[in-house]
Amino acid sequence: MNESEESQQVINNLVTAIYLEVKTMILNLPTYNLVIISSLKVKKLSDSKITITKKFLDGITAYQKYFSGSITVIMESTNDKTTNLDDIIVNII
């Protein structure tokens, strides 16, 4: 093996070592939970259905797209009729 080939082998070994280190770091990243406390109130229709604004739901969906951890949303419930123009009915788990 000539000097050029030895240098290339050293570089390949270094790149492999760095790759394995980064892969290990990524696999060991902690998981995060995003907690959103909303001032928007939700109307509970039944044990499995609520009304919420489409705009709020779209925002939470965007968080899900870009946030790798879990998301918890805390909202106050109300029995009052809402005046929101974009209320939708959502099934909850």
Residues 82 and 46 in one domain: yes
Closest CA to 43 of 73, 84, 81: 81
Predicted confidence band of residue 68 (pLDDT cuts 50, 70, 90): confident
Residues 22 and 35 in one domain: no
Q: Which domain holds residue 36?
A: 31-93
- Tokens representing 73 are 């949303």
**Contact (CB, 8 A) for 92 and 44:** no
CB-side neighbour CA atoms (13 Å) of 1: 7
Q: Could you tell me which residues come within 8 angstroms of residue 80 by beta carbon, excluding any fewer than 6 positions away?
A: 41, 43
Looking at per-residue pLDDT, the higher value among 5 and 57 belongs to 57
Residues 24 and 35 in one domain: no
Residues 38 and 25 in one domain: no
Residues 26 and 62 in one domain: no
Residues 57 and 81 in one domain: yes
Model pLDDT, residue 28: 65
Residues 45 and 84 in one domain: yes
pLDDT at 85 over 70: yes
Q: What is the pLDDT of residues 15-65, one digit of tens each?
A: 777 777 776 666 666 678 899 999 988 888 888 888 999 999 999 999 888
Helices (H), the chain: 3-27, 54-66
User: What is the total count of domains within the chain?
Assistant: 2
Model pLDDT, residue 23: 67
Residues 58 and 84 in one domain: yes
Predicted TM-score (pTM) of this structure:
0.60
